[in-house]
Amino acid sequence: MALVDKENPVWLLIGNPNSGKTTLFNALTKQNERAFNYPGSTNVIKEGSFFSLHGEKYILLDAPGTYTLTGKTENDSLIRDLLLGRNEKFPIISGVICVVDSSNLQRNLYLVSQVLEFNIPTIIVLSMVDVAKQRGIKPSENKLKHLLKCNVVSYYRQCCASLFAIKASIHVSKKINDRKHIIFDSKIEEAIQFLPLKSRGTSLTLLFTEATLAKEVVNQLNLNLKNWKTSIIQSRYNYLDQLKIAFYQKETRSEIIDKILLHPLLGLFPLLGFLSLLVWSIFVMAPIPMGWIHLTFSKLALFVHNNISTPWVSNLLSGGIIPGVGNVIAYLPQILLLFFFIGFSESIGYLPRVSFLIDRIMRQFGLHSRAFIPILSSYACSIPGILASRSLSSKHEHLSTIFMIPCISCSGRLPIYMLLIGTIVPKYPLVKSFLLILIYFGTTICAGCIAMFLRRTIFKGPENDSIMELPSFRTPSFPHIFEDLWIQAKSFLWRAGTVILFSSMILWFLMNFPQNEPTKHTENNYATKIGHVLEPVLHPLGYDWKIGVAILSSFSARENFITTLAVIQSREDALNCCWAPEKTSLSLEKYPIKTCVGLLLFFAFSFQCVGTIIVVLKETGSYRYVLYQFIFMNGIASLSALLVNQFGLFLEFW
């Protein structure tokens, strides 16, 4: 730490993520740190130096972006330690420069209100002033300076005059002891007064983040005012509402729309409408291109069967690879529709609002709203969802989210759901849509219950409080949406052309060798032998040897369940002299409804994907967690299928 010494004053540069801190840091220190355009680009302390207008040298520290000083992330803890002078690598901070995004003043001033409570010389630098003016926001430097009792400077990029003004403010800034602070509930004020610390900021930090050091005060506060943390947050926002006289702001389009979308009751109707449109499109729009894909692979199978003279090659292609791969690729339109709706809602800014809307619901399950994005990602694939859960600051919430994510219905389950629902309800698209919504809703609730159980038992710990960023509504970026769709399509087709293709070839080999004389209904091949070994175990669940082999193959990729059954069906049709190459679509009509319902529940709760198992092992670093999760989830899946099959027999319900 060559730059930091006791001779030169040290100033700390802080602000919300993506507020322009790095740009100002580069301008002052003449460095060339890259400014990223997404939250959290600064994850370490950057050091630089500059000279004031009077030639005095200052050290400038660029801290990671944060929304609040009371969070529990490593970045929040690092900034608190710097403000409190507890970081041994740095001397006492002489002052703070708060970079404030003028286009979102209320959110940014929340952090400023916390910094001012430390009674450290503070300068507010207003960035993105041009963007703010376009949105009807005209911040008044003089009014903010009068209300907050600190220097306020507007910063324009590549404007030397604004840099001079900032340097001049640093030179004349001083500690202000008569600043008007936010008045909290009387019980909270009593707790602050009881702690004989040098500033209100230090006392509030102790109460929020280091309760063990003030255990008696915190316990008494919990008894007197149960939701005291929420009360403090609300008091801050009430105070910030009063500051609106310092900037004239007309009601933006986003704020008008948010009155409906963020309403606790009214906001549910647009959300349900959005989800209903998604599911309806999957059942009504997607079957059209799915039919084209089925027809293409049917004609391809017929062409191969009629034009390749070598029997085993013809059989491998038309009876193994083509029906196996074709039945999986046919579900690509439905998966792309799912990704399109997710990408569209994220592009227009609706996705964060859904997260805000369900925050109260998620807290009932012991999870923070920040877990919404990992959970939503898991509807596409569990692996990115588990990796995205790293953003959770609490280890207990992180582990609870990892345990619940495999219960979320990923896109790999969607083809199986579609196949089974189509068998249970051959007609009536609206009924099919309702069943699919019910499955997704049910598995989500069950995943939440798992998280709630874990948060109250094994992974018990305190809840986190933080601020959520709601971006303004904007026009969807269709090029980015379709670029993401192309990436997802390539990923899906690559899996179909590698894992599923390879699995189809192995399965064809198991179904055709050894070349023994077949009996009337079955064969003495390897796959049949494996299936009959599994059949006694699976019989109470209502499954035969074919389903057993298909479930076994689905551990490499869930879609292999369809591939396996398609290859087995193709082989059996050939044995019974009823095979037609143009018939490549899979049917489960010969199985009773209760078996299909049991399979539906089994795949909804089972923990099969090998890739997910490996990622869980890497993230948790414990074979024990993986083993517990595997036994627990597959136990629930098997028990659900068993109950459906046994009670279905007893009640003759199906």
Selection from 255, 253, 246, 250 nearest residue 126 by Cα: 246
Residues 223-230, mean pLDDT to the nearest whole number: 80
* Same-domain check for residues 69 and 135: yes
Residue 465 maps to a domain: no
| pLDDT for position 99 | 92
Confidence of residue 178 (pLDDT cuts 50, 70, 90): low
Residue 365 maps to a domain: no
Residue 201 maps to a domain: yes
Boundary (domain end) residue, out of 226, 261, 296: 261
| pLDDT for position 651 | 40
Q: How far apart are CA 99 and CA 165, in angstroms?
A: 14
Selection from 549, 542, 553 nearest residue 601 by Cα: 542
| pLDDT for position 466 | 53
* Same-domain check for residues 162 and 45: yes
| pLDDT for position 196 | 67
| pLDDT for position 521 | 42
β-strands 46-51, 57-62: how paired? antiparallel
* Same-domain check for residues 197 and 161: no
| pLDDT for position 255 | 73
Residue 273 maps to a domain: no
* Same-domain check for residues 22 and 116: yes
| pLDDT for position 2 | 45
Residues 141-147, mean pLDDT to the nearest whole number: 82
pTM: 0.58
| pLDDT for position 516 | 53
* Same-domain check for residues 132 and 18: yes
* Same-domain check for residues 257 and 203: yes
| pLDDT for position 98 | 93
Q: How far apart are CA 637 and CA 598, in angstroms?
A: 9
Residues 62-80, mean pLDDT to the nearest whole number: 80
| pLDDT single digits (tens) 585-599 | 566 778 888 888 889
Residue 275 maps to a domain: no
| pLDDT single digits (tens) 270-319 | 888 887 787 777 767 877 888 888 788 888 888 888 888 787 788 788 76
Residue 280 maps to a domain: no
Q: How far apart are CA 148 and CA 245, in angstroms?
A: 13
| pLDDT single digits (tens) 367-418 | 777 777 677 767 777 776 776 676 676 777 888 888 888 888 887 788 888 8
* Residue 129's CATH number: 3.40.50.300
| pLDDT for position 602 | 92
Beta bridge partners of 20: none
Residue 322 maps to a domain: no
CA 18 remoteness from chain centre: 20
Beta bridge partners of 96: 12, 122
* Same-domain check for residues 242 and 120: no
Confidence of residue 42 (pLDDT cuts 50, 70, 90): very low
Boundary (domain end) residue, out of 138, 172, 206: 172
Q: Which residue has the higher pLDDT, 650 or 412?
A: 412
* Same-domain check for residues 213 and 134: no
* Same-domain check for residues 76 and 127: yes
Token pair belonging to 531:
């299936």
- SS3 string, 395-429, reads HHHHHHHHHHHHHCCCCCCHHHHHHHHHHHCCCCH
Sign of CA dihedral 398, 400, 403, 405: negative
| pLDDT single digits (tens) 87-109 | 777 778 889 999 998 877 878 88
* Same-domain check for residues 160 and 22: yes
Boundary (domain end) residue, out of 261, 290, 313: 261
Catalogue the E-assigned strands of 321-469: none
Residue 277 maps to a domain: no
Selection from 463, 459, 441, 442 nearest residue 451 by Cα: 459
Count up the domains in the chain and report the number: 2
* Residue 233 structural domain: 186-261
Selection from 499, 523, 501 nearest residue 512 by Cα: 523
* Same-domain check for residues 143 and 231: no
Residue type, 94: S
* Same-domain check for residues 252 and 117: no
Token pair belonging to 105:
């003043």
The alpha helices in 349-381, defined as continuous H runs, are 351-357, 359-364, 372-378
Cis-peptide into 514, omega within 30 deg:
yes
